[in-house]
Amino acid sequence: MFVDGVAAPDDLVLVGTGHDVGPMAELGAQADFRVTVIGFRGANAEADRFPDADDVRSTSPARIREAFEFDEDTYVVVATHNFIDDRLAVDELLRTDVPYVGLMGPHERFEEMVEEFEPEGRTFSEAELDRLYTPVGLDLGGGSPYEIALSIVSEVMAVANDRQPRHLREREGRIHDRVELSSNR
């Protein structure tokens, strides 16, 4: 008997519909993620704009948890480029079990968000902050939409595979982990 286990791919949810989301959807799909694009208020949340996405949905930032079943196998990148939408989406996403919430924009922008939450009494726990990656992506040095997408999808892959990004030349031993099979008959 031959058994080949197949697990469902992890979800990559891209929140936003701007010009940078298409390359992230394409590279995410090529990296074997099940890609969903979520836009707000119907603006540009059309399947033909994101042909590499498995699904395209529209909702409001405050209802994002109703639009998708977020779990520990879901990785999210928030890229709406709208401060209020990003703020609402990040707040909602950190109330889920997702292990990764990436937020586009400079770190100072998130610090401004934190200040905006203070009058509401909303603070972030260390566990929430550990799951938040802002600015999102690895420092690969590129600035084009595809270079940025590669940086972001690479960071998501590293987190999903429980890896610290580093050069392979610095790794000792095998590049890929081996699966041990038992010889029970």
Sign of the C-alpha dihedral computed for residues 40, 116, 75 and 72 taken in this order: negative
Average pLDDT score over residue span 107-125: 91
15 beta partners: 38, 78
DSSP state of 155: H
- 133: Cβ contacts below 8 Å, ≥ 6 apart: 100, 101, 102, 103, 155, 159
- Number of structural domains (the chain) is 1
Residue 83 lies in a domain: yes
Residue 108 lies in a domain: yes
Kindly indicate the confidence band of residue 34, based on its pLDDT and cuts at 50, 70 and 90.
very high
Range of the domain at 42: 11-166
Average pLDDT score over residue span 75-86: 95
CA distances from 123 to 82, 100, 108, 114, 179 (A): 21, 18, 17, 8, 42
Q: Does 177 have pLDDT greater than 80?
A: no
44-53: Cβ within 8 A, 24+ apart: 44/17, 45/17, 49/17, 49/22, 50/17, 50/21, 50/22, 50/25, 52/22, 52/25, 52/26, 52/28, 53/14, 53/25, 53/29
| pLDDT for the residue numbered 174 | 72
Residue 171 lies in a domain: no
Residue 72 lies in a domain: yes
Residue 178 lies in a domain: no
Residue 66 lies in a domain: yes
Residue 3 lies in a domain: no
| pLDDT for the residue numbered 182 | 64
Comparing 106-115, 152-161, 173-182, the range with the smallest average pLDDT is: 173-182
Query: 76: domain CATH number?
Result: 3.40.50.720
| pLDDT for the residue numbered 23 | 97
pLDDT above 90 covers a percentage of the chain that reads 69
Comparing 48-52, 92-96, 112-116, 180-184, the range with the smallest average pLDDT is: 180-184
Residue 65 lies in a domain: yes
Q: Does 169 have pLDDT greater than 90?
A: no
| pLDDT for the residue numbered 184 | 60
| pLDDT for the residue numbered 59 | 94
